[in-house]
Amino acid sequence: MTAVTPPAAATPTDQPLSLRLREGTRPEHEAAESSGFVEKLMGGELGIAAYADLAAQQWAIYGALEQASAAIRQDDQGATLVFDELTRTPEIEKDLTFLVGADWAERVTIHPATQRYVARLHEVGGSLPAYAAHAYTRYLGDLSGGQIIKRMMERHYGLSVDGLAFYTFTEIPRSKPFKDVYRERLDALRLTPEQLAGTVAEAKLAFRLNSDLFADLGAAHC
């Protein structure tokens, strides 16, 4: 009798990049989501100053990420991942003006973990696999958990429109179809197996950099 061999289970490398990213970063996502700073901020236990500090860190990070976007869009494949409607730097600047004041640029502090995150973006952001990893981690996060954070800021800290521009994508009324298109763009990238693995590894690092940033914010505010 011929032994029946079960079909080989799909190896992770057979999966589309978007799925590999989601599954590959699951533990790091859980760690970032459950950091003390995030839980306390979302639970209404901190003050507006903590939220403003987070906005300042995001200003530094998005400045570096969106500088990389401007460079990567010169490349045909890179251009497929750059969407003007995602641009966050001007929105964060509006939030900081409201939260801190017109002189916010002189008053905010960029924490050491943020400086490391920014340095990493400057170091690798010009390479498509690394750019894809960092842009995925931030923008799909902002369109997902970011929307939950927005609701919690409204509920606990009395913010409505002012101060929440970062989480408000005026040109993306429904995040689900947009995220589906973004995942299709990731899946269509022509990357070698090594580059695909590198993208997942860089996304894991991007999540860890976010967790390190929450640790710095926790030390300052919790």
Query: Residue 2 Cβ, how far from ligand HEM at the closest point, in Å?
Result: 41
Position of minimal CB gap to ligand HEM: 145
| Pick 97 or 215: Cβ nearer ligand HEM | 215
Q: How far is CA 63 from CA 42, 58, 83, in A?
A: 25, 8, 15
Query: Residue 40 Cβ, how far from ligand HEM at the closest point, in Å?
Result: 11
Residues that bind ligand HEM (CB under 6 A): 21-22, 29, 32-33, 38, 42, 136-138, 140-141, 144-145, 148-149, 179, 207, 210
Number of CB atoms found within 10 A of residue 1's CB: 3
What is the CA angle 60-147-65, rounded to 5? Answer: 25
> Number of helices and strands (H, E) in the chain?
13, 0
Q: Contact 28/89 with Cβ under 8 angstroms? A: no
| Pick 102 or 204: Cβ nearer ligand HEM | 204
Query: Residue 101 Cβ, how far from ligand HEM at the closest point, in Å?
Result: 26
- Which secondary-structure segment (H or E) carries 109? none
Query: Residue 145 Cβ, how far from ligand HEM at the closest point, in Å?
Result: 2
| Pick 97 or 150: Cβ nearer ligand HEM | 150
